[in-house]
Amino acid sequence: MASGFLFGKESLERRILLLVGLGMLVIFASLGVSSFLSVRESIERSLEERIILARVVASHLDHVLSQNFSRLQGIAFSKGVDLEDKNLEPEKAAVHTAYLHSIFSRGVFLLSRD
């Protein structure tokens, strides 16, 4: 009776179910590992692209700010600009021109060193 249990019809069904279950487990495990590695690689690539984009944006912002600060510093060297005299028309014109070509939309001001 014991030998019939080990090698009989019921034992064959159990072995088939066990082997099918193990086969499915191996397939699902390999798919899971493959999916995990693919997702991890995708996340790393996405983060690298974000870093590259941040560097490009920072470089562009640095360029725009440098250009606008240079334009504002150029006001001091504009024709007729002298904060010591009583005539403020050249200063107003230079500030107005700088304001129109600047990213500083809240206003541009001229101050003397005093």
pLDDT at 1 over 50: no
| Between 89 and 62, residue with greater pLDDT | 62
Percentage of the chain surpassing pLDDT 70? 80
Question: Distances from the Cα of 111 to the Cαs of 73, 87, 101, in angstroms?
Answer: 12, 15, 19
Q: Count the domains in the chain.
A: 1
The tens digit of pLDDT for each residue in 5-61 reads 555 667 888 899 999 999 999 999 999 999 999 999 999 999 999 999 999 999 999
pLDDT of residue 83: 66
Asked whether residue 113 is domain-assigned, the answer is: no
- Asked if residue 108 is part of any domain, the answer here is no
| Nearest to 109, CA basis, from 68, 101, 62, 98 | 98
> Residue 83 belongs to what domain range?
2-100
